[in-house]
Amino acid sequence: MILQGLKGVVAAETAIAHVDGEQGQLIYRGYEIGEVTANYSFEEAAYLLWYGKLTNEEETQKLKAALRSGREIPSYLADMIGHLPTEMNMMSVLRTVISAEGRLAYGWKPSIAEAIRLTAMVPVIIAFRKRQQEGKSIVHPKEDLDHVANYLYMLTGEIPSATHVNALETYMILTMEHGMNASTFSARVTVSTESDLVSAITAAIGTMKGPLHGGAPAEVISLLDEIKEAGDVETVLRDKLNRGEKLMGFGHRIYKTIDPRSVALKSKLLAFAGEDEWLDLSIKVEEVGIELLAELKPGRSLFTNVEFYAAAIMKAIDMDKELFTSTFSASRMVGWTAHVLEQAMNNVIFRPQSKYTGPFK
């Protein structure tokens, strides 16, 4: 029996994360995702995925220092960013610049130091490119800002609000890792040949670039924009359902119940109720949407997914749509590199079979 796309095939064992779509669970190294987002920073969650344990204060500060050190990209990469064609999209830029990284002697086997370096670089590349596209001066990293806050600072040139940092940080923790998805599998296949970490991450970025994987919450943003303009949540949603349209941001191909990432993100955003109109609107849209789906599509169990609240966050921080997938990639760098490190620990090259369906002459 051939399973197209390897659906349902177990290709590797992993101790990094557990995804259970039927039960609505996402677990990082034994910890429920809601517990991670409620209690830990981006750096602390990254430490958990890379090292397999929770960090202490001393280890956290060392990791923060290492990430800050990794933000300084060499001049040849900065020049490359500026000389790439203007029509080149952000994911293509990211893929190209990462592939040219060569300051460290990347080789076999990959190391956590290399993982930290590449994770630190990605937001800098994105911010450099975005500022250049806008004809604005480059904003260099700010030493006293942590990973997520520095990313927002480099994009805007302004110190971001705590509300926006917390919202984006929660999203980036939630999207750090999600099992054996297409880009993670791509990274593991690449490194299974005993190739280097840069090559594995370049492959993962190329995979994430495809619209069937990386995607973006752009359609959810269109929905929020429409509702904001109409000024009536229920009328817009009811009309869409009556016309047989999908409610963007509701339902997920993996989770058959509530997306645990959506729950974790919502619980964090509720703490900021009243502080941002887009976050408040998204909470209202979810409430009304679930009520209408239960009324008009009973038995379907359609709930909001992580991209629903991601859209609200992107609107709140005024992030350009072009940055959605690259920001997703900036967070997923942690998961990709964790999987590459795990693959290298007990490596076997991936070599599946194919069934020939051509002619015999």
Q: What are phi and psi of 293, to 5 degrees?
A: -65, -40
- For the question of residue 307 being annotated catalytic, the response is yes
Strands (E), 25-99: 25-28, 31-32
One-letter amino acid for residue 68 of the chain: R
Q: Residue length, the chain?
A: 361
Task: Spot the catalytic one: 164, 252, 286, 339.
Answer: 252
- For the question of residue 140 being annotated catalytic, the response is no
Task: Assign 40 to helix, strand or coil.
Answer: coil
Task: Spot the catalytic one: 169, 307, 339, 342.
Answer: 307
Cβ 206 vs Cβ 184: under 8 Å: no
How many beta carbons lie within 10 A of that of residue 228, not counting itself? 15
| Beta strand pairing call for 31-32 and 17-20 | unpaired
* Spatial separation of the C-alpha atoms in residues 208 and 202, rounded to whole Å: 10
Q: Is 5 exposed, middle or buried (0-12, 13-18, 19+ CB in 10 A)?
A: exposed
User: Which residues participate in catalysis according to the annotation?
Assistant: 252, 307
